[in-house]
Amino acid sequence: MELYRFLQQQGFGSRKECRQLVEYGLVSLNGEEADNYRLPVSPEAITELVVNDEPWPVLLGPVYLLLHKPADYETSHKPQHHPSIYRLLPYQFKNLDISAVGRLDVDTTGLLLLSNDGQFIHALSSPKKQVPKCYQVTLKHPATDELIQQLLNGVYLNDEACEFAADTIEQLDSHRILLTITQGKYHQVKRMVAAASNRVEQLHRLSLGELQLGELAVGQWRFLKVAELAAFGFGQAPL
């Protein structure tokens, strides 16, 4: 593969932009500046790619990312009132058609998965997959036994034919619970809590399946590890 094609595959932009990066002397491979954009390269053999003085991890397949979503960011490529979560990622990922797996509301924080693997996004968003999602929910009114029981038994949501129940609930303190659901309906947690006569003040997603948000700082992202991807039933190494 020629170098400019490889740069395109890494998300560095159009054919013209990638050719120019090389022509302007901004690309180095394995420590050596490249001066020919038609240089034949084999991606597996590139251990160090630096573009415009920034090292870039060579991507050999689809990309799987975990983002700690901050509040006041929209999970949308075309945000209306707040910045897009995609602004928190390197621009190269935007060129690689990365999309979020499901959505978090603008005021919801926490774990958000992103990928450009259509099968992965589809599989994890599918209701059949039943991936448990755990949220820390801060409530306006106290978390009474009655509220917890109602959420565990199931509540009716507007425009939905059946009841929706939490899989598990753990009470953290008077106003905070950990709530796990397996579906992913629009505003589901907020609507369930409202249907049980309380109100969500803050919503923070801690985990998706076995994947934990962990210590990742707000607004930061990282690649999924091979084992984390495997836990979702996907085998390909992220890098």
Nearer Cβ to ligand URA (84/188):
188
131: contact with ligand URA by CB under 6 A:
no
C-alpha 7: how far from its chain's center?
24
Options 72, 97, 105, 167, the catalytic residue = 105
Q: How far apart are CA 149 and CA 201, in angstroms?
A: 20
169 binds ligand URA (CB under 6 A): no
5 binds ligand URA (CB under 6 A): no
Figure out which of the listed residues 5, 129, 175, 190 binds ligand URA, where binding follows CB under 6 A: 190
Packed helices 188-195 and 145-153: angle between N→C axes, nearest 10 degrees: 120
Residue 189 and residue 119: Cα distance in Å, rounded?
Answer: 26
32-33 and 221-223: which strand pairing? unpaired
With binding defined as CB under 6 A, does residue 134 bind ligand URA?
A: no
- The verdict on whether 105 is a catalytic residue reads yes
Per-residue contact string for residues 202-221; x = within reach of ligand URA by CB under 6 A: -x------------------
Q: How do strand 176-181 and strand 133-139 relate by DSSP bridges?
A: antiparallel
Size of the site for ligand URA (CB under 6 A): 8
Which residues within the stretch 97-126 sit at the binding site for ligand URA (CB under 6 A)?
A: 104-105, 108
Residue 202 structure tokens? 């803050």
How distant is the alpha carbon of residue 77 from its chain centre? Answer: 13
- Give the residue numbers marked as catalytic: 105
Which residues of this protein are in contact with ligand URA, per CB under 6 A? 104-105, 108, 187-190, 203
